Structure 1
Amino acid sequence: MRVHAYGDDALGDLDAVGLVEEIQEGRVAIPEVIEAAIARTEQVRDELGAVAYVAYDRARVEARDPRGGYFAGVPTFLKDNVDVAGMPTQQGCDAYRGHSLERDGDVARMFLATGLVPLGKTQLSEFGFSPSAEHPRLGPVRSPWDPARTAGASSAGTAALVAAGAVPLAHGNDGGGSIRIPAAVNGLVGLKPTRDRLAQDKLNRQMPIRIVSDGVLTRSVRDTAAFLRESERVYRALRLPPIGDVTRPSRTRLRVAVHTEGIGRGADPEVVDLTLKTARLLEELGHRVDVVPHPAPASVPDDFLLYWAMLAATIVRGGRRLAGPTWDRGRLDQLTLGLDRHCRSNLRRLPGAMRRLRALPRASAEFHRTYDVVLAPTLALPTPLVGHLDPTQDFETVMERILAWVAFTPWQNATGDPAVSLPLATTAAGLPQGMMLSAGAGREATLLELSYELEEASPWPRITA
């Protein structure tokens, strides 16, 4: 049974751009928009488990005196791993007590400068390590399309609220697929920008290989395009070509590569069929499509997992310095602790793994000399039931299941390339199955133009249908 909060209120079924138009034309007032979003959030909060922290009173104050920006008055949430003034940052973790922060981090500063009004923060898996947000104490974040199933990776809370209609768009970030995975299972648009395209908080900037990118999850291509346009006006990545104001498809026909094999794993037969169906749609639209092997070297799965484990080990070993005196590593979940053990057991391999990962952007750039865009399934398998990736299970069991599901998205985190998941496919069970398009570094505009074209050619299902 689907869970959603759409109704006859100030939000209606509008996306963010549509809501901006309603506000600017005076057909709805910002305070009533904020109240509608609060009511909707409360309507689905218990069923979806998507909310980590609420700041409703702050939102009501901002509604009476909104800051400037294109999205002025549009309600939103930020993921609970970025710093927002007046809110704690808990990282989906029980191992320490977060405290109210005095100032916004760089991500929140950029995000809120567009005019968006935060209602609070969304739930994630512990430190974002799992592709399924299943908190041992608070419970899982559930998909509004089927609450028996996971809402996906660490931006799961964001995706669940956007898909359920509580807010039209919200913040996510992606270090191994955590924008694209929840977009894929919740019927949303989720674009991971090019490495360094948008502002980043200090911790992510300090990573030896900056695999994390921030962005949004939305219900329409134009919302994602508008957010990137407005963010670029606040924070400009000078080494990358500007995205600009992308509002329509391009007439340029593209060279499209299709992968049904990920990095070390293949896709489920149903997912392969859905991917090839999308490939045929691209051919019908006039694009040149070739099914080709994935360019990833055989070392990538193990190298990426070891780097991921190194990030966990850094937190486990340095938690008190990062989180303060309330730190208690005994309250970390089994996935985080298992990643720490994996790193320590393979420490001698880490320098070679990082050297090979750092070489991948060049390999990707060479591949994109031949192909403008790559089509692949966002995920190798249909959406699993809650509990399948429960982090309290044996580490080896959970990791094997993670690698079988998340076989496609880490490639772009390693290369730094942009990629977008679009809700172009539906499984036999009636659930969204995202299709992923990726391009060379700095080519977000190409992805947005193609996304507009596909949105027009094959409009995606609505959760209310």
Structure 2
Amino acid sequence: MDEVLRLDAVGQAQAVREGLISPRELVEAAIAKIEAHDAEINAVVHPRFERALAELDGLPEGAPFRGVPILVKDLGWGQAGEPYRAGSRTFDGVEVGEDAHAVTSLREAGFVILGRTNTPEFGTTITTEPVAYGPTRNPYDLAYSPGGSSGGSAAAVAAGMVAVATASDGGGSIRIPAGMCGLVGLKPTRGRSSYGPASGEAWSGMSTLGLLSRTVRDTAAVLDLFTGYVHGDPYDAPGLPGPLEAEVGADPGRLRIGFVAEHPREDVPGDPVPAAAVTAAATLLEELGHEVTPSRPEALAEPDFALHFGAIVATNVAAEVENIGRWRGKPVDLAELEPRNQAMARAGRDRSAVDHILALQWIDGFRRRMAAWWADHDVLLAPTLGIQPFPLGWLPPDDLSTAFGRTGPAVAFTSPFNATGQPAISLPLHRTPAGLPVGVQLIAAAGREDLLVRLAAQIEHARPFDHAAMR
């Protein structure tokens, strides 16, 4: 049974179709794995095992992932009749009335949802240590963070509880946990996935839905299920030539790849660990026949980016706090929030509507300045996390100056692409001397997930990913 759980989701679905295992046996094995190991990892904050087992009789016949277990992030992935907490105590008593479009797509594909995964409060930081549920631990070293905000999903997949889990990314929240837990994490193009019907967008369009997996083919096949424009969405991504699953194994051709190992701004401290990961990846890409040169968008060095990005996030946090009060029928006292979100909500409330629009307009210009680089290049290679893996507690919740100061360099290569809306994928290609995973990131022009999947699959074939943390 353990051998089947070590398969990726595509492999598990095939095993079910071929009669090697029944959906019930597969789901029960995944539940047993969670029950055996989650006490030490703390990835699953809302198990729904009994409901999942009861749903097995109604699985759609012929569905591509019939009977395959999955976990969903407890942020942005609403499920009818289930609690929604977003890592916060302020949501106590709130229950979702209808499935998100993306959740409906997973159910129609035959996935069985086993529970909801841990996330930092409102997803506003890069580690998963909410006061409401306690820290999620990295399966590679339990003293270390799995990243955030999709840290619960990443830890569950890395530990082998499920083959895939859903995620979202507003500043690196898919890619950073993927990098820190040795997984594949693709942030799609803005508008590729729908936040409906509950929302039109998240973080003023900077957040997108996605997933975490152990293989490129899982990432492609599962993204195909829930990506696509839904009537009423505020954005629509450029069309793809076909299913992403069909791009796995397709020849990417000889690509023009620029790489940057350290941040171009002199005031952002460098780190030898992510720099070494990028340098090694650049060598691999050269060996695969690509044209690889040191190059990056000039706009990455602009010092005002972090100011405007942070201001937009703060305004959105303030709006979320206001909405929570309406949903639960009682205004939120800021003292109910963790210190980080207290500060962000206050900052957001202090900003005017004009301030918010001006920040968005600055980002509009930044997006165009960044896009110009892709006129002469196909892909940018960069670190995923701008620093080396960090332990739990490294971002002190009561010392915001230290926490925010450390977060800035960490997200230097992720948040810019939330602002531009471009697709980016993190791949597990490096390890620290202590064996902790270090991801590298590939970024393409808007709408070019197909190119990223082709290149990522070529890399995976040449350098198969090692998933040493599986329980």
**Shared fold, TM over 0.5:** yes
Q: Secondary structure at the match of 2:89?
A: coil
**Aligned residue for 1:433?**
438
**1:279 to 2:282 alignment:** yes
Q: Secondary structure at the match of 2:46?
A: strand
**Aligned residue for 1:28?**
21
Give 1:324-335 correspondences, 5 Å limit.
324-325=329-330, 327-335=332-340
Distance apart, 1:144 and its partner CA = 0.4
Q: Deviations over 1:86-137 (max 9, x none)?
A: 2111110012314333321223123322221100100100010011111124
In structure 1, C-alpha distance between the alignment counterparts of 2:54 and 2:333, rounded to whole Å: 36
**1:159 to 2:154 alignment:** yes
**Aligned residue for 1:256?**
257
Is the alpha carbon distance of 1:113 and 1:433 closer, same or farther for their aligned partners in structure 2, counting shifts above 3 Å? same
Distance apart, 1:232 and its partner CA = 4.6
1:321 to 303, 307, 326: 326
1:148 to 143, 146, 151: 143
Q: Secondary structure at the match of 2:81?
A: coil
Instruction: Between 340-349 and 306-315, report the one with greater CA deviation.
Output: 340-349
Q: C-alpha root-mean-square deviation of aligned residues, in Å?
A: 2.2
Distance apart, 1:383 and its partner CA = 1.2
Is the alpha carbon distance of 1:250 and 1:306 closer, same or farther for their aligned partners in structure 2, counting shifts above 3 Å? same
- Answer yes or no: is the 8 Å Cα contact 1:96–1:327 preserved in 2: no
In structure 1, C-alpha distance between the alignment counterparts of 2:389 and 2:340, rounded to whole Å: 20
In the superposition, the TM-score normalised over structure 1's length comes to 0.93
Segments of 5+ residues of structure 1 without an aligned counterpart are: 1-7
Q: Deviations over 1:246-305 (max 9, x none)?
A: 220415110001122448535402221221111111111111111124432332111111
Q: Secondary structure at the match of 2:467?
A: coil
**Aligned residue for 1:288?**
291
Q: Secondary structure at the match of 1:150?
A: coil
Distance apart, 1:234 and its partner CA = 9.4
Instruction: Between 95-104 and 159-168, report the one with greater CA deviation.
Output: 95-104
**Aligned residue for 1:177?**
172
- Answer yes or no: is the 8 Å Cα contact 2:315–2:351 preserved in 1: no
Q: Deviations over 1:327-350 (max 9, x none)?
A: 443220001011123335565754
1:213 to 197, 202, 208: 208
In structure 1, C-alpha distance between the alignment counterparts of 2:41 and 2:419, rounded to whole Å: 31
Q: Deviations over 1:297-319 (max 9, x none)?
A: 33211111111111122233443
Distance apart, 1:355 and its partner CA = 0.8
1:76 to 55, 67, 70: 70
- Answer yes or no: is the 8 Å Cα contact 1:423–1:460 preserved in 2: yes
Instruction: Report sequence identity in percent.
Output: 36
**Aligned residue for 1:3?**
none
Segments of 5+ residues of structure 2 without an aligned counterpart are: none
**Aligned residue for 1:62?**
55
**Aligned residue for 1:388?**
394
In structure 2, C-alpha distance between the alignment counterparts of 1:100 and 1:332, rounded to whole Å: 19
- Answer yes or no: is the 8 Å Cα contact 1:20–1:74 preserved in 2: yes
1:374 to 376, 380, 397: 380
- Answer yes or no: is the 8 Å Cα contact 1:249–1:451 preserved in 2: no
Is the alpha carbon distance of 1:318 and 1:58 closer, same or farther for their aligned partners in structure 2, counting shifts above 3 Å? closer
Distance apart, 1:21 and its partner CA = 0.9
